[in-house]
Amino acid sequence: MLSVIVFLPLVAAAALVALPRLGDRLARWAWVAVAAVDLALIVILWARYDTPPAGGLAFAQQVDWIPGVNSSYHIGVDGLSLPLVAMTAVIFLACAVYALRERHRPRGHAALFLFLQTVSLGLFVAADLILFFVFFDLSIVGMYFVIAGWGHGNRAHSALKFFLYTFLGSLALLVGFIGLYVAAEPHTFDMPTLAAATPLAARPLAGGLVLAAILLGLAVKTPTVPFHTWLPPAHTDAPAVGSAVLAGVLLKMGTYGFVRIAMPMLPQAWRAWAWVIIAVGVVSVIYGALVALAQTNLKRMVAYTSVNHMGYIVLAVGVAGLVAGDTMQARTVAVTGAVTQMVSHGLITAALFLLAGVLRERAGTDDMHDYGGLAAPAPVFATLFAVGAFAALGLPAFSGFIAEFQIFTGSIAAAPATAVAVLGILITAALFLRALQRVFTGETRGKSIGFTDLRAGERWSIGALLLLSLVIGVLPRPLLQVIEPAARTVVGLLGR
Amino acid sequence: MMRPALLLPEMLLAAGALAALIGGSFVARDRQWFIRAFTIAVLVATIVAAAIQLREPATSAFDDSFAVDTATGFARILAATGTLLILAIAADEISGSPRESETYALLLFATVGAVLLAGANDLLVLAVGFLLASIPLYALIGLAATAAGAEAAMKTYLMGALFGILLLLGVTILSGLAGTTGYTELAERLPDAPRAVATVAVVALIAGLMFKAGGVPAHFWVPDAAQGATATAATFLTTVPKIGALVAVYRLATVLPTSTSWPIVVAAIAVASMTLGNLAAYWQSDPRRLLGWSTVSQVGFALVPVVAVDRSNLALPSLLVYLAGYTVTNIAAFAVSAALPQHRDLTDYRGLAARRGGLAAALLVALLGLVGTPPTAVFVGKLTTAAAAWDGGYAWLAVVVFVNTVISLFYYLRWIVPAYRDAALASSGGDHSAPPPEHPARRWSARLAVTGAALSLVVGVAAGLLWNVAAGI
């Protein structure tokens, strides 16, 4: 069943490419239909999900792939991956609905995004390092073509920068994977086996180097300061749906790697370097927020707030490495918060990027100075944007609050010094309020004049994402019930 | 023992080459396709014979001078398959030309030479294989009959002569030191030989083989030949001889004592090849020349597992898997260029995706495959070769492999990017040159490009099966 969920979009993409007679209109709707079916399947999967025993996976499947190097097609879900799988399907469905008005080569567009959906889902369910890497690398190739083919502005340059940066990161990751493989006895790429064996436990130097390679790869993808410089141009020049998928799904591949690979497989090295990771997280939080404050371009601003939001996750997983007897509970809360933040940031930021895309589509610019008093001609747009902004700055009743509250509760309890990162929330609040004020209030002027309000497809796609964030914010229990056992397992593994 | 039946594939190839050469004289110019069909039959028969042979346990023929084992069997199948695929390019390019049947004969001769190199278990057989693989190449390059082709043939000949002598020098010294040319005795006697002299001989031998592999320090002819020769010859000489030469280096490495410091020599050549090939490919504007340099860097990657040959049991299978992946992927990339012979500048590929989606997709898969993007075959090769090196204690070499992979991405993208750019957009966006004139693509080469790209994906996904064959399981 899991394999069907993963590969259904790929099959649809191949069909779209292979049948050139299919009209553009049919191609757009086919994409929506496939994304909806995939989401429905995941809902069924979630309904049938029972928390697996610690270290185990639900709905696991394992088929030999390259037995000579002990690499297999091994997939499964647990509390860390299931929420991300569901979030991925939601975001892709929202993008499919939003893109119903795409005019530029819609068939190729749909096929490319379906391909990306398979890649993203595959990455989150992979339980083999090589399988993980295959999807990790393919996500880069797919996103490169999204930016280069459907972007605007200096897209060729941005796409190339994105490709080179993240490709470098992915190869660092691969070096780390080979290090784990060679260190394990017998050699294997299987994730659960490696997590159980912790092959480099007795060799701090080698363990540190392998962790450094893996962290470099994941930090580029996440991205954290100082590896974030590819992110703003890529987001600015990507099409709206591309930005939404890039921020909503692809960035999570980095943070997911921390909890799935780095922490369980290299616990000793992780503990040794926990303070460095925390420092990178705090710097990302503050720096991302400050730079976002200085932006006048809306997309760039949201892009930098992503650096800020990813910083909270890095902070939380770093804190999890500060093993001490009495903080087990606090660290579990922090990790739960980190996973919740991945889901929450995916939903909210995807919505914000889709909204920014509306601005560019209508008026050809996303510079905030070009707008003013937009609330009068476009009330629905203004409402949804305000909701998105409040959700992003962590207002209670939205998913962001649940996530960040847990992150800070856990982090400050385990390491009081991390309280300095709360400053990031303050700055983000300021910058979102300022953006709201500049774009929506006051006299209607500039590009705001004659601005068409949201159309049905845009309302439904963006509205659904924000509604889901609200639901998680009000009723977090079902989600947290899935995440918490897995977070406890990870924290337990770190304590070995 | 003689046991000539063990050499059935080689005999088929050699006899086929002779028959094609003589038969070509008796067949009218417009019926030369008959010789092509005959060549195809010979290659298919060779593959079948080699595949049957591969199932038997490892042995050797002619008094232990020719090894018949997994490596030889794999190289036989790979070399014959490569030549078979390349015939599709020939079908477009030289069909009905005055030198058609001679080309087929030369291709078959060079294939025998490559296979002999791969199986050589005796220094003298190695020398024979070297000559047999080299001499047809000079003629193949010269057949282009253009100024660039003549220059490339001359350069190749001079390099071949120089490195052939080096190889023979190495053979002479080693046989003088050990009093034998057979590998089995060499392995026993060389550890007692004077270290400095043995090291010199090893360097000379490996450098000589690098001429066939097209690696540093004997790589200078590769870009010129890839650019100046016909597409058929260019594809062949960057693919099939490498298979033979690299397996020969592997076999040599298994008998040399570590005291000759051959691992360092091979590692240095590997690093130099991949780095130099990558850097030189950076600003090439002719796609064939770019591919020529890319093959130099690929030799470097393929040499990596050889370094760890006596320390990791991943070494041989990973080398063979790499060679298989490289063969299909490199042929696919050359086939794209052969299908569009007028496109001799990277900018000519502008808008290819809109005009010929299939060909552009094949180009994308082939070039990203050469980078080592999963799930293509070269990715599995790169992964396992790096793992083998690390497993053998050469972690730094694995890191160098991936650093070079990042470097290589850029120049492959220089070719992919124009192909996927809108021709209309590109010409309106400040670039005022006219869109490239429309030429029909050559049919068989285009089909080969798509087939090769598909094979590279299939081999990547089904790598487990291939690995089992390569590991002799």
Query: What does the pLDDT look like over B177-187, one tens digit per residue?
Result: 988 999 999 98
pLDDT at B438: 65
pLDDT(B425) > 60: no
Unique residue bearing structure tokens 């090849």: B273
Chain-centre distance of CA B310, in angstroms?
Answer: 24
Structure tokens, B156: 């190749």
Does A254 contact chain B (CB < 8 Å)?
Answer: no
**Site from A10, A19, A134, A174 to mutate, B interface, most B CB atoms within 10 angstroms:** A174
Q: How far is B402 from chain A (nearest CA, A)?
A: 6
Structure tokens, A324: 């001490």
Structure tokens, B145: 């009959």
Complex ipTM, two decimals? 0.90
Query: What does the pLDDT look like over B248-291, one tens digit per residue?
Result: 999 999 998 888 889 999 999 999 999 999 999 988 999 999 99
Structure tokens, A146: 């999204």
pLDDT at B64: 86
Type of residue at A414: A
CA-nearest of A349, A370, A255 to A304 is A349
Instruction: Dump strand ranges (E) for B262-406.
Output: none
Cis peptide, bond prior to residue B418, ω within 30 of zero: no
CA-nearest of B245, B188, B185 to B63 is B185
Query: What does the pLDDT look like over B436-469, one tens digit per residue?
Result: 556 778 889 999 999 999 999 999 999 989 999 8
Does B410 contact chain A (CB < 8 Å)?
Answer: yes
Verify whether the Cβ–Cβ distance A175 to B391 is below 8 Å: no
CA distances from B310 to A69, B255, B300, B384 (A): 18, 10, 19, 16
pLDDT at B28: 83
B-facing residues of A in 178-197 (CB < 8 A) are 178-179, 181-182, 187
Q: Which residues of A touch B402 (CB under 8 A)?
A: 171-172, 174-175
* Mean pLDDT, chain B, integer: 90
Question: What percentage of chain A carries pLDDT values higher than 90?
Answer: 76
Bridge partner list, A61: A75
Q: How many CB pairs under 8 A join A and B?
A: 81
Q: Which residues of A touch B420 (CB under 8 A)?
A: 145, 148-149
Q: How far is A142 from chain B (nearest CA, A)?
A: 12
pLDDT(A481) > 80: yes
User: Minimal Cα distance from B421: which residue of A?
Assistant: A149
Verify whether the Cβ–Cβ distance B420 to A133 is below 8 Å: no
Residue-number span of the structural domain to which A191 is assigned: 2-494
User: Minimal Cα distance from A138: which residue of B?
Assistant: B374
Bridge partner list, B64: none
| Helices (H), ranges, A364-398 | 379-392
Does B293 contact chain A (CB < 8 Å)?
Answer: no
Rounded to whole angstroms, how far apart are CA atoms B60 and B442?
44
pLDDT at B417: 87
Does A312 contact chain B (CB < 8 Å)?
Answer: no
Concatenated DSSP letters of B124-150 = HHHHHHHHHHHHHHHHHHHTT-SHHHH
CA-nearest of B222, B202, B224, B200 to B211 is B222
Instruction: Dump strand ranges (E) for A185-230.
Output: none
- Burial of residue A72, with CB atoms counted within 10 A of its CB: 0-12 exposed, 13-18 middle, 19 or more buried: buried
Rounded to whole angstroms, how far apart are CA atoms B314 and A194?
20
**Site from A134, A178, A185 to mutate, B interface, most B CB atoms within 10 angstroms:** A178
- Contact residues for A477 (Cβ-Cβ < 8 A; gap 6+): none
Q: Which residues of A touch B405 (CB under 8 A)?
A: 171
Instruction: Dump strand ranges (E) for A296-394.
Output: none
Residue spans of the domains in chain B: they are: 272-473
Lowest mean pLDDT among A276-280, A323-327, A445-449, B118-122: A323-327
Q: How far is A20 from chain B (nearest CA, A)?
A: 11
Query: What does the pLDDT look like over A376-395, one tens digit per residue?
Result: 899 999 999 999 999 999 89
Question: A87 with A403: CB under 8 angstroms?
Answer: no
Query: What does the pLDDT look like over B347-357, one tens digit per residue?
Result: 889 888 888 88
pLDDT at B86: 95
B-facing residues of A in 377-416 (CB < 8 A) are none
Q: What is the DSSP letter of B179?
A: S
pLDDT(B3) > 80: no
Pairing state of beta strands B59-61 and B66-68?
antiparallel
User: How many structural domains comprise chain A?
Assistant: 1
| Helices (H), ranges, B120-238 | 123-142, 147-178, 183-189, 195-213, 221-228, 231-237
Rounded to whole angstroms, how far apart are CA atoms A77 and A261?
14
CA distances from A289 to A230, A277, A318, A347 (A): 17, 18, 19, 19
